[in-house]
Every structure is written in C-alpha cells, then in structure tokens.
Structure 1
C-alpha cells in the first residue's frame, strides 16, 4: 500500500499537467494577494495542498534540510508557548500559534512548480509588477493619489502604510531591472526593454512618493554594493565610473523637493533631537517621534529579553511588553501598538536565543540554495535582495507582516531549488 502511494505521488510530481495547473494557481495567488482580494486564499491553499505529494516523497528520499527547518519552526513555537504559560500566564494564548514562523515557508511549495525555470520566473515577476501597477492605478482612480504624490504629499496607495509601499516599490524597481536582462533573446526584446525601463522609472517615483527613509537608506546601501558585486562583469576599471554615476544620481535626488521636504519633516518631527540624545547617551528622555518610537520599543524589549532569554514568550509577549510599558501606554499615539518595529528583536522576545539561531540557520540554508547555480544578473539580484531584506527588517517587522511575507515568498519561490524526488536515483538512496 505504501509503495502504491509512493508510485501515485511520483506520477503526480512528474506530471506536466499537474505542475502547470498548480503553477497557474501560483500566478493567481501573486496577482490577487497584493490587492488583498479574499479569493487569493483559495489559490494559496491549492498550492499548499498541491505540494503534499512532493513533500511526502521528500520525506522518503532526497535532501531533507528544508523539512528539518519546518519541523524546527513548529518545535520552537511550541516550546515558547509552553514557556509563556509560566512566564506570562495571564497573557498566554490557550494554544500555540504556529503561523508566525510557518508563514516564512510558503515559497517552498511554490518552488516545486517553478524550479528556477527562467521563463516561469519572468511570468511570475511580471504578474507581480502588473498586479502592483493595477493596485496603484485603482487607488489613484478612487483617491487621485498620483496627483497628490506629484504635489509632494506622502501616499501609501492603500498598502497598509507608506513603509510597505516603499518596500514594494523598491523590490518592483529591482525586479524591473532584473527582467531587463532576463528577457535577452526573447521575442520583441527591444520593445519589452523600453517598457521595463519605464517600469523602473515609475517604481522609483513611487518609492520617492511614499517617502520611507528606512527604505531609502537601505536601498542606497544596496546600490553602493552593486559595483563590487558586478566587478567580474564590468571590470575593476569601470567600478569607479559606476560609483561616480551612482553618486551623481544621489546628488540629484538630494536636490528634489520631495527629498528635502522629507528631511525637513525629519527635523521638525523631532527625529533629529532623538538622534542627538541617543549619541549623547540620554536614553531616558527619548520623545515618541517616528524614530523615537522604534528606539523606545527596543529599549523596552531589552529587559523583557533578559527575563526570558532562551525560549521567549511567543507573540503574546510582544503585545504584553507594550501593554506593560509606561512610556507607550502614557502616549495615545502608541498605546495600541502591538509590534516592536524590528523583526530580529521581536524574534528574541517571541522565541528567545533559540528562535534567533533558527532564523540564522533558516537564512543560511535558504539563501545558500538560492545562490546555487545562479549567474549574473540573477546572482546579483538575489544578493541585493538579501542585503535589502536584512536591513529593512531592522526598522519594521516585514517578515511577520502580510505584504512583507508576500514579497519574501515571491522572490524565494523563484530562486529556491527544491530537491529532486520520485526518480530512480532518489529511490536508490532510500
């Protein structure tokens, strides 16, 4: 009976029709999840259930690193929940919530049906760009948001808040650049490249219009790393020239009205005062500005982490931390907050050192796989995305938020290569 089940699973895994149908569901998920249309969950579930035959075979053969990580995420969350029953009995949930870490793994079932196929990457990334564009245009139709953006108003185009809009725009600009090179040799290459050039310019405009300083800073670091990443392709002599171009573009951006208005807002909002007090070591009187909220939440988290350093106290601990904070509860603006604006600190509060070790192992395993068999420009894109993602999660918990998980799983699904299963070679290893 077991052999019969394995045979049926192997037939499904090798079926081109089955793979095509689930891949179409991947496209529909990417298209519908960004505007948050409820029907997207149907396709998400089809992807997950559609991967069960593959996961079953993977449990019997092949490299099981990803499965060990998946089991580890459930184990850690269970142990943290048990610890929360003793550490914060009044705030602990009645059962463990597995969603926080498990949500990081959606790329895995999606990757079964993409398998680093270049054409499928192009289609999936193009679907993302079109879906994002339609989302922006629909919001503009209802609220004239593009006109507002042209007039210097900070807009989010309905994506939770402007930080997420900036993050999406930055990734969309990077994807447009990637596709510019990936379509080499494709039919109508010249026309498509013109469209992608316009796409890149549009997303850079959205990035500026949504005015998120954390994304600007992180993307600047990514751009400054590009000449070094491209040194083999462009040669050492051209690195200096590329840096001069980037610095010139940066100088021009600093002269734009949007940039200067945002910097003036930084000064007027008190964030400059916050920076000066942090440097001076005056950490007890940090005002609740945009940056001040972040710094105060990190300070509050420090004492909480010391009390439960090994296993943490689950996501409930993060909410309880805010509720017990006099600094946050005394301010109407922050009293309802439920996160710490830093994914790594939230991980330490929720799952302790064990959770952080898991996260490091997760990143190392997944991105090591993503880099495998990749050449430029994909190698540079993956590396740039990794740098961007590691940086921006210091200022916002993108890895635990809807739109952050959407982008993370989109990119990783295109670059993670799952182990082969259902082959004769795999059966010999049993």
Structure 2
C-alpha cells in the first residue's frame, strides 16, 4: 500500500526533470540568484551554485536520455574536457600522496577551485533552456547585483577618495578584484550599448534609455580608474584593439554605412574623453603608470637569497623566476593545488612581506605549478575550444555580431589580466568567468540543442 502512495526518490526526481517547464524555470531562477547575489549576498550565491550543480548532475544522471539538451551535453567538448580534468585531478591526488615531501600536502578545497570552469556549462545549460533572447538578462542581473552591493556598502568617504584620485577597492577583496568587476562591466556596457539604445521607439524613449546607460558607463569607468589596477587598464586596451579590428573586418563584409559607424565611434570617443577629463583621471593614470618600475633582470637572473624587489612589478617578476625552478622539478603533474603557500613560506628567496601573499600573482604560473603541463594543457584546450565554438557559432549565424565582438574582446581582456593576478584561484575570478563565458557559450549550446531537436 505504501509503495503505491509514495514514489521512490529517483522516480520523483525523474518526474521533476521530465517536466520541462518546471525544471527550466527552476534552473533559470537559480541562475539568476547566482548571478545577482554573489557580491551583495554571498551565502545565497553559494547555495544557488550548489543547487545548480545538483540540477545539472540530475539532468545527466536521471534526465530523459532522448531529450535534445541531454544528448548535446554528454557530447559537449566543454563537459568532456572538464570530465577529463576531473579524472586527472583524482589521479594526480594519488600521485601527490606517493611522491610529494611530507611537509607538502595539496588542499582539497584549493583543488576544487580548478573545477569551477564547470560553472560555464552549468550556467549555459540554464540559459539554453530559455529563449535565446533572454540570455542578456544574466549580464543585466550581474550588473544589478554590483549596484546593490555598492548601495548596501555605500561609504561617502571612500567615494570622495576615489574621485580625488586615491586608490580604493569598495570592499571587493582588493583593488585588483575591484578592477576586474568594473573593467568587465565597462567592456560589456560599451559592446552592448547599441543593442540597448535600439530598443527605443521614439526620441523620448531614446533619452530615457541613454541616461541610465551613460550613468552606468560613467560608474563603470570611474570604478575602473579608482581601482588603479594597471593590468586591468592594459587588458582593456587589448580588448578595445580587438574590438576595433573585429568591427573593421565586418564593415567590409557587411557593407555597412561607414558614416554611421564612424559617427558611432567618434561619439563613443567623445563620451569617454569627456568622462576622462571630468573625473580628472589623467593625473591618476599618469601617477599609477609612473609608479611601475619593471626590471627584467629580476626575471632573467637566477634567484638569489639577497634578492628583495620592492615594487609590485618587481615582486611579480622575481616570484615567477623562482616558480620556473619549481615547475621544472615536477613538469608533468605539478605540486598540487594549495602547496604554493608552503613552498613560498619555506623558500629563502622571499622576505616576510611577500610570504604573506601565498600565491604567484599569475594564473598561468599558478596552474603550471599546481597541475603541470598535463593539467594546464587540458585547461588551455578548454579555452581554445570555447574560442572555436564562438567563431563557428558566429559564422553559422547563431551568434549576433555584438556578442561575437564582446566575446573575443573579453577573451583578450581575461588573458591579459591573468598574467598579473591569480584570478583562477579566487571566487571573484571564478564567478566573473562563469557569468560572462557562460553567457557567451549559451549561444553555441542553444544552437546545438535546436539542431538536435530538429533531428527528432
């Protein structure tokens, strides 16, 4: 009698997963919560992330095997590469237990950080279950979360310092991570501004849309300047160069009106220049750039116990030179995540000040040190594939031009800034990567699901 009234848990989950509308709405709600709450309500974001992982795994394990989304996911290169990387981590963990010195033990929590790229396909799956025109809502939700965070943590004195050209971080870990948030937001706002303004149906509507857009760009611009992170500035320069090259290449192919494009470009330059001058940012940039003293001898010369670089650039170059020696000792599988802190602490090449950092300020060196050439190669394959998928999606007409331009501009930005900070091991970098790359990959994943559905 009881068996007929109470369904087994797997059966209940299967019923939930088979109800496409309920499942898709639940998934979308959790994606929105994750995107919005990371900064203002971190605990909510963490719970949402865990539930998203469970929904994703439930779809793979208990979902309808004939559903287009499941068939696409199990064959998706991002999923398969990350699955291989998970297997590598499990095998490497056993190898570390056998081969590492007893005073070095990889941290399981730190190893999990390198699995965070899974969130790219997890978020993309949630968005692919929705109409594709809703994908942009994720970026708006993320921006709204940043605004709410700034409102809840408003500090008039800190904003006065920012406007006066002082370096601030608004409480987002540190200034380098603040620069990541505002720099990424600025790039997205610039790339998608035309799409946003084209929604206007009248001059009044245009003004109503242009004002909040201009305010958002101004805020993102000032936040990027206030963080005074040179790597972010360099990343934005690289992304703008990529943006201009991609747009110029498309002008010839699409035969757009050069006057319209030129006018848009000039207008954008005027707006950004006006903001730049109004905020007295020239002195800020000049001061920050002049503070950078790069001495390549710190990188090229063999490490010395007497070496003690004082500038942030010198510290980075010197630590990378030391890290090269560590990497060469275990080039294939590395030393394991979470051990670099101990290696730095045990080293005679660093003073107490640097030993307090506990990381290498470079995602590439960080990954090579932790997982060697094998693990780094798998993560590089992931990046290359996402680039290929983006290109293919655009060429087949399944990705709008502005998304395509934003995608490769952001890739350039991301690759540059990770040369100077280990964003890959921080939740801020993991969140931003999942949010933006998940948005980008949605267009490829959605197109594959549509193709698979038509086959049926």
Give the TM-score, by structure 2 length.
0.80
Q: How many Å separate the matches in 2 of 1:347 and 1:175?
A: 27
Whether the aligned pair in 1 keeps the contact of 2:340 and 2:358 (CA below 8 Å) is yes
Does residue 43 (structure 1) correspond to residue 56 (structure 2)? The answer is no
1:75 paired residue among 87, 105, 111: 87
Secondary structure at 1:310's aligned position in 2? coil
1:302 to 2:314 alignment: no
* Alignment correspondent of 2:163: 150
Gapped regions of structure 1 (runs ≥ 5): none
Cα deviation code 1:189-225 (max 9, x no counterpart): 6222432222112201111111111101111121122
Q: 2:414 aligns with which of 383, 389, 394?
A: 389
Contact 1:13–1:53, Cα closer than 8 Å, also in 2: no
Q: Which residue of 1 aligns with 2:287?
A: 264
The 5 A counterparts of 1:181-196 are 181-183=194-196, 186=199, 190=206, 191-196=208-213
The answer to whether the 8 Å contact 2:228/2:288 transfers is no
Deviates more, 1:342-351 or 1:68-77: 68-77
Partners of 1:11 and 1:140 in 2: CA distance? 42
SS at match of 2:114: helix
How many residues matched? 417
* 1-structure distance, mates of 2:196, 2:418: 31
- Give the match for residue 349 of structure 2: 327
In structure 2, C-alpha distance between the alignment counterparts of 1:110 and 1:365, rounded to whole Å? 17
How far, CA to CA, are the matches of 2:412 and 2:41 in structure 1?
27
Counterparts of 2:31 and 2:152, CA distance in 1: 23
Question: Quick one: distance in 1 between partners of 2:348 and 2:77?
Answer: 44
Per-residue deviation, residues 111-144 of structure 1 (Å, max 9, x unmatched): 1221284432222111111111122233324x53
> TM-score scaled by structure 1?
0.85
Cα distance in 2 between the residues matched to 1:276 and 1:243: 37
Instruction: Note the C-alpha offset of 1:50.
Output: 1.7
1:165 corresponds in structure 2 to 178
Q: Deviations over 1:336-367 (max 9, x none)?
A: 22210110111110010101210111112233
Q: Does 1:88 align with 2:129?
A: no
Residues 1:12 and 1:161: Cα distance change in structure 2 (over 3 Å): same
Which stretch has the larger CA shift, 340-349 or 222-231?
222-231
375 and 123 in structure 1: CA distance in 2 versus 1, 3 angstrom threshold: closer
Matched with 2:20 is: 15
Aligned 8 A contact 2:299 2:320 in 1: no
